Structure 1
Amino acid sequence: MKIEVLAFAKINLILRILRRREDGYHEIDSIVQTIDLADLLTVEPARGVQVENDLTDIDGEDLAALAARAVLRRKPGAEGVRITVKKGIPAGAGLGGGSSDAAAVIRAVDRLFPPRLSPEELLSVAAEVGSDVPLFLYGGRLRMRGRGEVITRIDAAAEESFLLLVPPLRSDTGRVYRRWRPGVGGRASDAGLGANDLLSPALSIYPELVAYHRAVDRLDSLYAGMSGSGASFYAAFADPDSAREAAGRLRREFPRALVFVCSPTGEGH
C-alpha cells in the first residue's frame, strides 16, 4: 500500500511574541491560515525509516523522519516506512513546510498501520515532533498560543486570495527569534491582520528584505505582512484577479523572487 498526501503551507496573519519561556521556547499568540501551496509526499511500508527529499542541504534529521519514528513507536509490529518528498513549499520562508511534512507523515503512517490512533494521540505525537506541527493536523484559520500547541479554530470573515512573495534567501528562524526583544519595533497586538513582532528582528538581520517588505506593503491589498520569521511576505486580496495582477507587477520588479497566488484551505491534510 502506498499513500500520497499533500502538505499545505501556512502564513501567519498575526504573530505576537509574549515572552521567552524558561524551556527556551517563546510564548506566542498567532493567527495562521493554511494555503494551497503544498509539498507532495508519498509514504509506503519499508524496513527502517527512509526519507528521499529533493532538498539537498537539510541540516540534522528531517522532521518527516522524526514524525515517522514517533508514530511507529506506537505501532507494535510495524517495521518502517519510505517517505518521498517533492517540495513545492520554499524552505526558510516562514511557511512551515517542514512542520507540514511532519504532520502529513503522522497521518499517513497512522493510516498504513492499524489500529488508528485517536485524534488526541495524533496531536500528542505532533507536539512531540515540533511546535508548529499540530496546527497542520487541523488546517484552516486557527489561533495558536503557548509555544504553538494550544490551537483554536476561528472563522475567516470572508474568502480571500493571497499573493506570496518569496525572496531568494532563507531566514534562520532561531537567529530571528533570538534577536527579538520585548517592546522593540511595536507589538503585533497593537495592530490588525498583517502585524508580526518578528518583522523588525528579521529586517535588522537581513536588510535586503526591506525592499520586498515595502513592495508588498504598498500594494492596494486588504492587509499585508511577513509570515513567521520570514523571509516570505504576503498580501491578501478580495478576489484572485486582483492578486494575479499584483503578482505580475512583483514578478517584473523582483525577477529572482518566487511569486505565488494562493487560496486558503480548510483542512491541513
Structure 2
Amino acid sequence: MKLKAYAKINLTLDITGRREDGYHTLDTVMHSVSVWDEVEIKRINKPGIRLFCNREYLPVDTKNTAFRAAQYFFERCGITGQGLSIHIRKYIPSRAGMGGGSADAAAVLHGLNQMFRAGLPLEALVELGAKVGADVPFCVVGGACRCQGIGEQVEKVPLLPECWLVLCKPPAGMSTPRAYALIDQFPLSRARATEKMVSLLAGGDLRRIGEGVANRFDETMKLQQVREIKRVMQAAGAFGASMTGSGSAVFGLFPTEEAARACMQQLEGKGRLYLARPLDRGWDYAPEK
C-alpha cells in the first residue's frame, strides 16, 4: 500500500504556556499543503518492523515517528508476531517546520487501519498520534485545524480559500528543542493571533487572512535568511508571508499561480522551493507505479 503523507504549515502559532513536565502549550492553526512524502507499507513474513528511508541520516528505529506509530498501532489492536516493512521516500524538507515526520506517522496509522481492517475511529487514531508526537494528531485529521494543548486538542476550522502557496526552505535550520530553548528566553506573547485567524478563515478573504499570519518563533528567532525570504515574497505580492512551525521554511500566500511562479523566480538561490496548494486532508493513497 502506497500513501501520500502531506506536509503542513502553521498559519498562526501562539505559545500559551509551559507545563511542569517542560512541554510548551500552543494555540495554532495548521493547514495541510500539497507537498508530500511517499510511504509504502507491506506485510512481510519475518516478524517485526523494518523501516527504510531514502535519507540515510534519518533514524530507522524507535527514534523514527513512523516506526513508533506502527508499534503503537499493533499494541492498541493486540496484533503480535506480524512482520511489516515501511519504505519512506522523503520529499518534505527536514528541520523546516513542515511536519514531515509527523505526516509519515499519520499516514502509517491510516494505512495500517485500512490494511488490517481494524476499524479504529478517527478519535482513536488521534490518541495514538498524540503518543508519537505533537503534530501527529493534526496530520491524522488534516485539512485546516485549530490545535491546542501540546497538539492533542484538534478542532476543524474553515479551509483556506482558493490560493497558491510558495514555500522556501533556506539552508539555515534549527532543531525544535533549540527553538523552544530560545523562546524560553522571552516572555509569553500577549498577542493571540490564532483566535483571530479562525474568524478570518470563516470570512474567506485571502488578503485579510494573509495579513493575519503570525508565528511566535518567527518573532523571537529572527533568522536573517527567513527575513530575506519574507521580504522577497512580500515585494512579489504575497498577501502574507511567515515562517512555519519552529522553522525554517517560509510560506507565502498568493491569489494566482502566475504570481506564485513569478515569486519563485525571484527566490532562486535562496533555498529549496515548492509550489503548493492548500488541501482538505493530511494523507491520501498514492498511485501504484
Question: TM (normalized to structure 2)?
Answer: 0.84
Correspondence 1:199 to 2:218 = yes
- Return the match for 1:225 from 242, 245, 248: 242
Counterpart in 2 of 1:75? 77
- 1: CA distance, partners of 2:26 / 2:127: 19
Q: 1:25 to 1:218 in 2, by over 3 A?
A: farther
- TM-superposed deviation, 1:197: 0.6
Mean alpha-carbon deviation: is it higher for 194-203 or for 31-40?
194-203
Residues 127, 184 of structure 1: CA spacing in aligned structure 2 closer, same or farther, 3 A cutoff?
A: closer
The answer to whether residue 223 in structure 2 is matched with residue 234 in structure 1 is no
CA distance in 1, matches of 2:250, 2:149: 24
The unaligned stretches of length 5 or more in structure 2 are 197-210, 284-289
Aligned residue in 1 for 2:262: 245
Range 187-196 or range 7-16, more displaced: 187-196
Residue 158 of structure 1: CA displacement?
1.9
CA contact (8 A) 1:188 1:197 kept: no
- Establish whether residue 146 from structure 1 lines up as the match of residue 146 from structure 2: no
Contact 2:122 2:141 survives alignment (8 Å): no
Is residue 2:115 matched to residue 1:101? Answer: no
Contact map agreement 2:229 2:270 (CA 8 A) in 1? no
- Structure 1 residues without counterparts, runs of 5 or longer: none
- State the match for 2:172 in structure 1: 169
Deviation of 1:245 (Å): 1.0
Paired residue total: 262
Whole-Å Cα distance in 2 between the matches of residues 55 and 49 of structure 1? 18
Q: What whole-Å deviation, never above 9, does each CA across 1:93-119 have from its counterpart, x for those lacking one?
A: 000000000000111112222332222
Aligned match of 1:113 in 86, 98, 116?
A: 116
Provide the residue aligned with 1:258 in structure 2.
272
The separation in 2 between residues aligned to 1:186 and 1:224, in whole angstroms, is 21
2:286 counterpart of 1:268 = no
Distance 1:194 1:25 in 2: 24
> In structure 2, what is the equivalent of residue 214 of structure 1?
231
* Alignment TM-score, normalising by the size of structure 1: 0.90
Q: Which residue of 1 aligns with 2:32?
A: 34
When the two chains are superposed, the root-mean-square deviation of aligned CA atoms in Å is: 2.0
CA distance in 1, matches of 2:32, 2:160: 15
Give the Cα–Cα distance (whole angstroms) in 2 for the partners of residues 188 and 230 of structure 1: 19
SS of the residue corresponding to residue 116 of structure 1 reads: coil
- For 1:38, give the aligned amino acid: W
Q: How many percent of aligned residue pairs carry the same amino acid?
A: 29
